[in-house]
Amino acid sequence: MTKIIGLTGGIGSGKTTIANYFMAAGIPVYIADNEARKIMQSSAIIEEIKKTFGSAIFENDILNREKLSEIVFNNPEKLKQLNAIIHPVVKKHFNEWILNHKNSPFIIYEAAILFESGSYKNCDLIITVTAPIESRIQRVIQRDKTTREKVLKRINMQWSDEQRITKSDFIIENVNPDSAKLEVDKILKILKI
C-alpha cells in the first residue's frame, strides 16, 4: 500500500522548492495548488464559480484570478465557498493520480492548506516546511508582484507554523537551499527504511 506523505507550510515557506527536491530524488509528487489551477479552467468549475461569485470576476469569459483572490482573501466565508467547489474535484483527481503510482512505496501530497482543508487526515505522515516570516513575505512579494499587506492577509488566513508543527512528523526549516536539501535527504533515508 502506497503511503501518503503530506507536505505543507505557510505561503512563501518554500514548499515547492522542497517538493522539487523530492521529485529530483524520483519520488512522485502531487502539487494540489497546480492541479486546482488546472481544474479551475474546466467549464463545469467555471460555471460553478460564476454562479457563486458572479460574472464580474470574469473578463471575456476568462476568470480573473486576481479579482477572485481579492474576494476570498477578504472574506473567510467566500473562501469556504470556493474551497467547497474546488476541493472535492482535486480530491477525486488525486485519488485517480495515486492509482498510477500504486507501486511506489510512498508519494508526496503537497498542499498549502493541508490542515485547513482536512486533507491531512488522509496522510500517513506529515512534513511541515517553515521559514522566517520576513523571508516568506519577501518571497511572495517577489513571486506574485503583490504588496506586503496582501501577503500578511493571506498568512493570517492560514494556520500558524506552531499549529502545523504540533501535528507534523517532520519539520524542514527552509532558511537556505543546502540545509533544506540535507533535511530532505534525512527524511528520505527514514522513509526508505
Overall size of the chain counted in residues:
193
- Cα–Cα dist 42/120, whole Å: 26
Q: What's the pLDDT score for residue 159? A: 93
Q: How far is CA 76 from CA 52, 73, 141, 165, in A?
A: 14, 7, 22, 23
Q: Is 114 exposed, middle or buried (0-12, 13-18, 19+ CB in 10 A)?
A: buried
Q: What's the pLDDT score for residue 193? A: 56
- Looking at the chain, which runs of residues are DSSP E strands? 3-9, 29-31, 58-59, 62-63, 106-110, 125-130, 170-173
Percent of the chain at pLDDT > 90 equals: 76
For the segment(s) 3-191, the CATH number from 3.30.2130.30, 1.10.10.60, 3.40.50.300, 3.20.20.100 is 3.40.50.300
**More confident: 125 or 63:** 125
pLDDT beyond 90 at 23: yes
pLDDT beyond 80 at 141: yes
pLDDT (mean) for 67-91: 89
Task: State the sign of the Cα–Cα–Cα–Cα dihedral 83, 164, 4, 30.
Answer: positive
* Segment among 12-21, 48-57, 60-69, 125-134 with least mean pLDDT: 60-69
Axis-axis angle for helices 148-157, 133-144 (nearest 10): 120
| Annotation: binding site | 12-17
> What kind and span of H or E run contains 158?
none
Q: How far is CA 139 from CA 142, 149, 163, 175, 181, in A?
A: 5, 14, 22, 12, 18
Indicate the domain borders of the chain. Answer: 3-191
Q: Quick one: CA torsion of 81, 113, 19, 140, rounded to 10 degrees?
A: 80
Write phi, then psi, for 134 (nearest 5 degrees): -65, -40
pLDDT beyond 80 at 76: yes
How does residue 61 score in pLDDT terms, banded at 50, 70 and 90?
A: confident
Q: Provide the whole-model pTM.
A: 0.90
* Segment among 20-34, 65-79, 84-98, 161-175 with least mean pLDDT: 65-79
∠ at Cα 150 (56, 79), nearest 5°? 55
| Annotation: binding site for ATP | 12-17
Q: How far is CA 66 from CA 78, 88, 93, 159, 161, in A?
A: 14, 23, 25, 22, 26
